[in-house]
Amino acid sequence: METKSYKEAFAQNLKELMGDMSVNEFSKLVGIPQPTISRYLHCRREVKLENLCKIADFFHEELDYLIGRKNV
């Protein structure tokens, strides 16, 4: 069984949480630049703890869930 990297797990979980919300809309709501969100979704950038906390707070999710260390 292949284990996903935390960047891959984060990207997948973020996509699921965003649902039909656009990257632009989400970036404005959470206060993180749109290019940064896009890079997270394409596994091209590691998420900083500050931004991870912003996203977790926005969705009322645990950090461990967002990075794939814990299932729902």
How much is the pLDDT for 33? 98
pTM of the predicted model as reported, rounded to 2 decimal places: 0.90
Q: For residues 2 and 8, is the Cβ–Cβ distance under 8 A?
A: no
Q: Where are the domains of the chain?
A: 6-66
Residues 6+ apart with CB under 8 A from 22: none
pLDDT higher than 70, residue 3: no
Q: For residues 35 and 42, is the Cβ–Cβ distance under 8 A?
A: no
pLDDT band at residue 11 using 50, 70 and 90 as cut-offs: very high
Q: For residues 52 and 63, is the Cβ–Cβ distance under 8 A?
A: yes
What is the rounded distance in angstroms from the CA atom of residue 54 to the CA atom of residue 47? 11
- The CATH superfamily assigned to 6-66 is lambda repressor-like DNA-binding domains (1.10.260.40)
pLDDT band at residue 63 using 50, 70 and 90 as cut-offs: very high
pLDDT tens digits, one per residue of 21-62: 999 999 999 999 999 999 999 999 999 999 999 999 999 999
